[in-house]
Amino acid sequence: MLSKAIIWQEQPYISPAAWEKADLMDVKYRLAADGMWEAINTVHGGLFPGIYRLHVLDEYGEFLPLPRLLDMEPDGIVYIGTSVAVPNRVGSLKKSVAAAYWQVDAQTYARLPYRDAEAHQAGKKIVRIPRFVQRFPFERLCVTVERYTSEQEVLDVVAYGHTELEARLLLKYEAQYGEKPALNA
């Protein structure tokens, strides 16, 4: 059985038999990996509606627990999002966050102009919090993805759009930890 510590780095191929043994919701896809989008798309079978979370990893590749107002958050979640096409949205997230890291001067943490008006909000937020770059190196950021599994979730997406489910996830997170993830706030 593959462990929760599976981290997609730059492995060109993992056999279907190995993936069948893994819990796909426990797979961590590093933002810094070149093949991240292709891995998500291949492993999950193309575009799908669902949830994606941006996490911070420790030096061992495990989730970095983060202090929150009411409790420690064990999974290092800094952003929660939903989409009707998760692989595409995660690709946008990666592009935006990578650009944000390039827009912050590593020596002075000064903000440089952010030019991509269509960027994912997480990247825009990182540029406004320059010390985020210092505290959480790009190589330690990963995403986990999850398909909507219940018929009701799929019907909700059709009826209300993915933002309704995202709002519910954020309310649940906020009720437990007393605040939203840093890049959702």
Output the CATH code of domain 28-99+141-177: 3.40.1440
Domain assignments of the chain as residue spans, ordered by start:
28-99+141-177
Answer with the residue of higher pLDDT: 132 or 99. Answer: 132
Is the pLDDT at 179 greater than 70? The verdict is yes
Distances, alpha carbon 101 to alpha carbons 37, 57, 91, in Å: 19, 17, 16
Percent with pLDDT over 70 in the chain:
75
Beta-carbon contacts of 38 under 8 Å, excluding residues fewer than 6 positions away, are none
Distance, CA of 156 to CA of 11 (rounded, Å): 36
Query: H-type helices in the chain, by residue range?
Result: 16-21, 36-44, 86-102, 121-128, 131-135, 151-160, 162-177
Global pTM reads: 0.79
pLDDT, position 19: 44
Q: Which pLDDT does position 80 carry in this prediction?
A: 95
Q: What is the pLDDT of residues 14-45, one digit of tens each?
A: 444 444 444 445 688 888 888 887 888 777 77
State the chain's mean pLDDT as an integer. 77
Q: 154: which residues sit within 8 A by CB, 6+ positions away?
A: 49, 148
CB contact at 8 A, 76 and 65: yes
Please write the tens of the pLDDT for every residue from 89-105. Answer: 888 888 888 877 776 65
- Between 85 and 176, residue with greater pLDDT: 176
